[in-house]
Amino acid sequence: MTTSPNPSATGARWAVAVLDHGTALLGYAAVPEVPPPGGGWRRLYLKRDAPTLSAVGSEDGAWASVGIELACSRDRALAKAVDLLAALAPYEVALDLDAGSARFDPDAVLRLALRLFVDGCHGAVVGEAVGNVIEAAAAARTVLGL
């Protein structure tokens, strides 16, 4: 048996493989991205006529977060924040109002996501998570007028 010089790299590869497999079952293609500055990994999942999914995960592979990013004016996002949180509550998604954007830019990138724990995660779980995030993003677009 061989061991990796960096055991956490094995966990991250496993998490990526779980998401790649689950999203491939839904017809998505994986696109690797540059790792985030704080560590971990990031990927996009593309499918014709479907929302682009973004995924990030921990370096040890314990969890992965699958979500959708929406560009919106910062003023609109802040003005609609309470309505947005109320509309998203049934979906139990996390909301990041500043994902990947500069804090003082007039435009914001909102990220709606679900965190998945990789142990025991399989294609059906990923499929349910993706469906939930897509529905949540549709609700967010309605509230934000996008």
Q: Give the phi and the psi of residue 3 in degrees, each rounded to 5.
A: -120, 150
- How far, in whole angstroms, is CA 58 from its chain's centroid? 13
Record the pTM: 0.84
Tell me the pLDDT of the chain (146 aa) as tens digits. 333 344 445 788 888 888 999 999 999 999 988 888 888 889 999 999 999 999 999 888 888 999 999 999 888 988 999 999 999 999 999 988 877 667 778 888 889 999 998 887 888 899 999 999 999 999 999 999 99
Query: Rounded CA gap, 98 and 135, in Å?
Result: 21
Query: Rounded CA gap, 43 and 16, in Å?
Result: 8
Domains of the chain, first to last = 7-144 (3.30.1460.10)
Query: Rounded CA gap, 144 and 141, in Å?
Result: 5
Query: Rounded CA gap, 11 and 17, in Å?
Result: 10
With a pLDDT cut of 90, the percent of the chain lying above it is 49
